[in-house]
């Protein structure tokens, strides 16, 4: 019961991130929105593991964290060298 409430909160946070992803004026806002979406995915994975006791997916979290970070750095380099400007 608690886990499902928490997962709903993480899903709403992911929805807010997608709103910013769609609306976001600049490319950098969209990259930040993607990061928050990844973060809510990681939170939902953790809460699901705590709720059901099935810890098969916990190893996925490190992969998501590192991939999210690499994507942010790559996108910021892309923005910075001038090709990301509208």
**Spatial contact of 37 and 15, defined as CB atoms under 8 Å apart:** no
Q: Does 52 contact other proteins by CB under 8 A? A: no
Q: Is 29 in the site for other proteins (CB under 8 A)?
A: yes
Give the containing element (helix H, strand E) for 37. helix 27-52
Q: Is residue 26 a contact point for other proteins (CB under 8 A)? A: yes
Q: Residue count at the site for other proteins (CB under 8 A)?
A: 56
| Neighbouring residues of 15: CB distance < 8 A, sequence distance ≥ 6 | none
Smallest gap, in angstroms, from Cβ of residue 7 to other proteins? 8
State how far the alpha carbon of 37 is from the alpha carbons of 30, 31, 41, 72, 82, in Å: 10, 10, 6, 13, 26
Query: What residue ranges bind other proteins (CB under 8 A)?
Result: 2-3, 5-7, 9-10, 12-17, 19-20, 23, 25-26, 28-29, 31-33, 35-36, 39-40, 42-43, 46-47, 49-51, 53, 55, 58-59, 61-62, 65-66, 68-69, 72-73, 75-77, 79-85
């Amino acid at each position: 019961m608690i886990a499902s409430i928490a997962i709903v909160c993480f899903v709403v946070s992911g929805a807010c991130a997608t709103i910013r992803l769609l609306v976001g004026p600049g490319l950098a806002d969209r990259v930040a929105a993607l990061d928050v979406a990844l973060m809510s995915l990681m939170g939902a994975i953790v809460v699901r593991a705590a709720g059901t006791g099935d810890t098969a997916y916990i190893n996925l979290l490190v992969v998501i964290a590192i991939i999210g970070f690499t994507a942010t750095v790559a996108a910021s380099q892309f923005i910075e060298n001038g090709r990301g400007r509208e």
